[in-house]
Chains A and B, each alone.
Chain A
């Protein structure tokens, strides 16, 4: 079946560091989204980015649809960035999403 793979599974950094999270998908997507799940379980939508690059403050994301991957960049990390980051892909026009397993990011003060 369709696969969404994220790497790395875990990432531990010091406050102020930069990080890059990767998402690979096994088929073409026309709906690619990044989410942050905070320690209380709330999932927040960071980006809807089926292609191209978007930026929102210290976060940016790039999707290269032809090569089937997306990257999430976090600059100048803060402890509040800790949590699990998920990417999710929708395929062939379907608006339902398949989620990756997530990257657990821990930012230490």
Chain B
């Protein structure tokens, strides 16, 4: 089975800190994604990547950046954490080729910014 591992389950950071959220997948998937999930707003795409060193903005990229130096690892960076970035962050990966683009999600990181 594909495994998508997020480095932390719970994280508490202070306003203004630089925060790194790490995601690693072990099945050689080309595509990787970062979403955030908030009550009443559902899942919203922050950034995604189709290949190493490649990144595309999603629907809510402001305040975030990403890094993909290796195929298996996709990092989300909060340059200067703010309280409105308190959220559940979900990483996912998927293959790029047919017949199945099915996503596999990590278990999530619940980030609290105080």
Interface status of A31 (Cβ within 8 A of chain B): yes
Binding site for A on B (CB under 8 A): 31, 33, 35, 42-45, 48, 50, 56, 58, 88, 90, 92, 94, 96, 100-105, 107-108, 110
Would you call A96 and B33 a contact (CB within 8 A)?
yes
Query: B30 — nearest CB in chain A belongs to which residue?
Result: A95
A residues near B (Cβ < 8 Å) are 31, 33, 35, 40-45, 48, 86, 88, 90, 95-102
Chain A, interface SS category: strand
Q: B65: shortest Cβ distance to chain A, in Å?
A: 18
Compute the total of residue contacts between A and B using a CB distance below 8 Å: 51
Listed A/B pairs (7) with beta-carbon separation below 8 Å: A43-B108, A90-B101, A95-B50, A95-B94, A96-B45, A97-B45, A99-B35
